[in-house]
């Protein structure tokens, strides 16, 4: 039989403390510390994940889910999440307060717009999870359309808001090419 202990240690060593005290003979105590920052201030620990279908037939709609996590013990200020739509797809909708950019591409002399969706966060709270969603229409067969069952692709980037402001400064918002 053992008792579980947990807490926060804020001495010369900083971190989460967890321990197990064995109540039977011989008694023992095992303590572990996580996120040791030896005298340094806590930092944000950001991670981002994109989930969506691997393939959708042309003419179909694909829904994507973005999960932004801050596993750290400090707020992350001025963050932007940018979803890069899969090739051969068009914007349908996105959740929350987003900005849509359609970036012009001219492969073989044909105008094809590639959607980018951006979400800005003044701050990402410590120990938090934020979810955003977006949908893409997969183009029908023809110029700029994928073959049936083609892997969708698509990606998501986690950047500073300042960097996103600089990169997207030349592009009009709301999808105008």
DSSP string for 98-155: -EEEEEEE-GGG--EEEEEEEEEEEEE-TTEEEEEEEEEEEPPSSTT-PPTT-B---E
Q: Has residue 148 got a pLDDT over 70? A: no
Q: Give percent above pLDDT 70 in the chain.
A: 79
| pLDDT given at position 10 | 59
**Range name among 94-98, 111-115, 134-138 with the lowest pLDDT average:** 111-115
Task: Give SS3 for 78.
Answer: strand
Terminal Cα-to-Cα distance of the chain (whole angstroms): 66
| Higher pLDDT among residues 151 and 101, named by residue | 101
b (16+ CB within 10 A) / e for 155-165 = ebbebeeeebe
Residue 135 near residue 93 (C-beta atoms within 8 A)? yes
Residue 95 near residue 133 (C-beta atoms within 8 A)? yes
- Nearest CA among 120, 158, 118, 114 for reference residue 136: 114
Q: What does pLDDT average to over the chain?
A: 84
Band of residue 88 on the pLDDT scale cut at 50, 70, 90: confident
Phi, psi of 84 (to 5 degrees): -100, 115
Residue 119 near residue 17 (C-beta atoms within 8 A)? no
Q: Has residue 9 got a pLDDT over 60? A: no
pLDDT tens digits, one per residue of 40-71: 778 899 999 999 998 888 889 999 999 999 99
Q: Has residue 85 got a pLDDT over 70? A: yes
How far is the C-alpha of 14 from the C-alpha of 86, rounded, in Å?
43
| pLDDT given at position 14 | 63
Domains of the chain and CATH, by start: 2-34 (no CATH), 46-167 (2.60.40.10)
Q: Has residue 34 got a pLDDT over 90? A: no
């Amino acid at each position: 039989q053992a008792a579980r202990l947990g807490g926060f240690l804020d001495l010369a060593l900083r971190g989460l403390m967890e321990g197990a005290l064995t109540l039977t003979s011989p008694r023992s105590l095992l303590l572990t510390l996580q996120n040791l920052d030896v005298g340094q201030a806590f930092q944000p620990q950001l991670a981002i994940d994109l989930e969506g279908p691997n393939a959708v037939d042309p003419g179909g709609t694909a829904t994507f889910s973005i999960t932004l996590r801050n596993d750290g013990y400090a707020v992350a200020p001025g963050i932007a999440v940018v979803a890069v739509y899969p090739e051969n797809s068009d914007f349908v909708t996105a959740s929350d307060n987003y900005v849509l950019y359609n970036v012009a591409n001219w492969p073989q002399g044909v105008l094809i717009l590639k959607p980018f969706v951006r979400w800005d966060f003044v701050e990402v709270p410590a120990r938090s999870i934020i979810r955003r969603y977006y949908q893409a229409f997969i183009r029908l067969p023809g110029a700029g359309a994928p073959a049936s069952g083609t892997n969708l692709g698509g990606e998501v980037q986690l950047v500073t808001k300042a960097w996103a402001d600089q990169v997207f400064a030349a592009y009009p918002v709301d999808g105008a090419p």
